[in-house]
Amino acid sequence: MPKRSRVIFSKIERVMNRLIAFVVVIGVMAASARAQVSAVTVLTPRLFGHFVGDVLTDEVDVRVVDGTELDMASVPQPGFLNQWLELVGSRVDMVSDRGGKLYRLHLSYQTFYPALDARQLAVPGFTLTLKSGAHIYPAPVPAWSFGISPLREVLPPARASGGQYMQPNIVPAYYDTRDEAYRALRLAGVGLIALALLAYHLAWWPFARRRRRPFARAARVIRKALASGDMQSGYREALIALHRALDQTAGQSILSADAPEFFAQHPAFARMQDEFTRFFASSQSVFFGDNPAGALASFGSLDLRRFSEALVVAERSAP
């Protein structure tokens, strides 16, 4: 073989070897990129029945292996993509996904295409960039199409003479609301009755001048006295408050001997005769027998408080 031919074949062989090495490297890089990016999925809205001004939101799911990060600079940013399509919203969420990561892009597009007939329009694709250490991997997101329709017919069919294409507004239908009004009045009446009962119970105007409740006031004094900390002094104050309430209710001073007459005039308290007996006995021990300890043992502070609360309930039910 001539020397010149051998030189030519040698050069061709070197070029082929370099070409083969380049193809191998490209194949390895593509395989590595596929290994880093598990899947790219586009979740589109409905692909038909859209009109000018509609906003279409799609989701792009990019699953990658752990350790691979999405370059946020490659995410599309809001702005016009062409004369009739604008990206009005862009958001990225990231969650863990079976040992890897899932990047979910929420993209909102608004169309301004004034269609004269039903046709398909394409939302352009784009390429995301993923990083893993010093390596960069592309993740192409494919384009997708949707159908858009005109708002009205370009050439509507001819109408008879005198016909109008623009129709008048629909006359509002009559709705009888008398049942609802009567129901509202009944509920308002019930509410007023309940308010009147509450006003009577709490002695609001115009019931402020009705009979006072001495036992209710005494119960508040007793709770405060028994919670003061000084048991004997508080107990004495509680007994005095209850004596005064009993005298105000009867209209005169009441002792143990006057109890039968008091029950006859105020039958609402007759069911508590045993408690009244214990109360008078404790009062006798404290004020005349100088035995507060014995009084506390036979009719303690808790018994006295419960007795006062029972008197309040009976007082409310009394005519």
**C-alpha 50: how far from chain center:** 33
Of these ranges, 62-76, 197-211, 282-296, the one predicted with the greatest mean pLDDT is 62-76
Checking if the pLDDT of 76 tops 80, the result is yes
Find the length of the chain: 319
User: Could you tell me the pTM of the whole model?
Assistant: 0.42
Position 46 in a domain = yes
* Percent of the chain topping pLDDT 70: 81
Stretch among 167-171, 209-213, 248-252 having the lowest mean pLDDT: 209-213
- How far is residue 203's CA from residue 200's CA, in Å, rounded to a whole number? 5
Position 169 in a domain = no
Checking if the pLDDT of 166 tops 60, the result is yes
Position 281 in a domain = yes
Report yes or no: 312 and 213 within 8 Å, Cβ to Cβ: yes
3-state secondary structure of 52: coil
Please compute the mean of the pLDDT values over residues 133-149 and round it to a whole number: 89
- How far is residue 319's CA from residue 315's CA, in Å, rounded to a whole number? 9
Position 159 in a domain = no
Total domains in the fold of the chain: 2
In this structure, what token pair is assigned to residue 280?
Answer: 């008078």
Pick the closest to residue 237 from 293, 291, 286 (CA basis): 286
Predicted confidence at residue 23, as pLDDT, reads: 37
Predicted confidence at residue 106, as pLDDT, reads: 94
Predicted confidence at residue 182, as pLDDT, reads: 93
Q: In the listed set 133, 148, 163, which residue is the last one of a domain according to the structure?
A: 148
Predicted confidence at residue 55, as pLDDT, reads: 95
Pick the closest to residue 312 from 219, 173, 195 (CA basis): 219
**Co-location of 239 and 137 in the same domain:** no
The CA distances from residue 135 to 4, 92, 132, 139, 315, in Å, are: 44, 22, 5, 13, 88
What are the tens digits of pLDDT across the range 38-49?
788 899 898 888
Q: CA gyration radius for the chain?
A: 47
Q: In the listed set 148, 178, 196, which residue is the last one of a domain according to the structure?
A: 148
Which position has the higher pLDDT, 25 or 39? Answer: 39
Predicted confidence at residue 20, as pLDDT, reads: 39
- How far is residue 216's CA from residue 152's CA, in Å, rounded to a whole number? 78
Report yes or no: 269 and 286 within 8 Å, Cβ to Cβ: no
Please compute the mean of the pLDDT values over residues 15-29 and round it to a whole number: 40
What are the tens digits of pLDDT across the range 106-130?
999 999 999 988 899 999 999 999 8
- How far is residue 5's CA from residue 171's CA, in Å, rounded to a whole number? 97
- Going by their DSSP bridges, the two strands 69-70 and 37-43 should be labelled as unpaired
**Co-location of 42 and 144 in the same domain:** yes
Position 82 in a domain = yes
What's the helix, strand, coil split of the chain in %, to 5? 45, 25, 30
Predicted confidence at residue 184, as pLDDT, reads: 94
Predicted confidence at residue 84, as pLDDT, reads: 94
**Co-location of 218 and 311 in the same domain:** yes
Which position has the higher pLDDT, 193 or 136? Answer: 193
Predicted confidence at residue 83, as pLDDT, reads: 93
- Tell me the residue range of the domain where 302 lies: 214-317
Handedness of CA 59, 62, 66, 70 (dihedral sign): negative
**Co-location of 220 and 137 in the same domain:** no
Predicted confidence at residue 315, as pLDDT, reads: 84
Position 5 in a domain = no
Predicted confidence at residue 108, as pLDDT, reads: 95
- Binned at pLDDT 50, 70 and 90, residue 30 comes out as very low
Stretch among 20-24, 33-37, 46-50, 222-226 having the lowest mean pLDDT: 20-24
- Binned at pLDDT 50, 70 and 90, residue 181 comes out as very high
Report yes or no: 10 and 1 within 8 Å, Cβ to Cβ: no
Position 274 in a domain = yes
Report yes or no: 55 and 108 within 8 Å, Cβ to Cβ: yes
Report yes or no: 75 and 92 within 8 Å, Cβ to Cβ: yes
Predicted confidence at residue 67, as pLDDT, reads: 80
- Binned at pLDDT 50, 70 and 90, residue 263 comes out as confident
Predicted confidence at residue 22, as pLDDT, reads: 36
Q: In the listed set 148, 174, 202, which residue is the last one of a domain according to the structure?
A: 148
Position 63 in a domain = yes
CATH of the domain at 50: 2.60.40
The average confidence (pLDDT) of the chain is 81
